[in-house]
Amino acid sequence: MDKIEHIGIAVNDLTASNALFEKLFGEPHYKIEEVASEGVRTSFFRVGPNKIELLEATNDNSPIAKFLEKKGEGIHHIAFAVANLEGEMKRLEGEGFVILPGFPKNGADNKRVAFLHPKGTNGVLVELCQEIRVAETA
Ligand code: ZN
């Protein structure tokens, strides 16, 4: 793994939290993006070289809705940048980690993503993400 790509925080109300985190960081979010397949609306902040992702549920079946119901607002996942998502998934499965079903798929912020089951990582939901490269012209 290359570095922490971002930290994801589950929030009840993205608009209210955007205003709060803008005050905290002294900078507004730089994008809002909905990932319909995951039932989430996200916003991203830059803090120096780091990124923070806020996540709001867009429907009751969203994994974020379930997380908020169980645990309330707070840190939801830590995302690590990887250069080769499939290769890293294979390596981690070989080490006994469990990849959540349905991944990899396209996530927010131009990333291909997969998640590890938090039961195998001391309760921490780990996201792996690889930047999707824009197709190069020959
Ligand atoms: Zn994330």
Distance CA 76, CA 64 (A): 8
Cα–ligand 1 centroid distance for 71 (angstroms):
18
Cα–ligand 1 centroid distance for 95 (angstroms):
23
Cα–ligand 1 centroid distance for 136 (angstroms):
26
Containing H/E element for 129? strand 126-131
C-alpha torsion sign, points 64, 67, 73, 75: negative
Cα–ligand 1 centroid distance for 85 (angstroms):
14
pLDDT for the residue numbered 137: 55
List, as one string, the DSSP characters of 29-51.
Answer: -SEEEEEGGGTEEEEEEEETTEE
pLDDT for the residue numbered 133: 83
DSSP alpha helix (H) spans, 8-123: 14-25, 63-71, 85-94
Per-residue pLDDT of the chain (138 residues; tens, 9 = 90+): 999 999 999 999 999 999 999 999 999 999 999 999 889 999 999 999 999 999 999 999 999 999 999 999 999 999 999 999 999 999 999 999 999 999 999 988 899 999 999 999 999 999 999 999 876 554
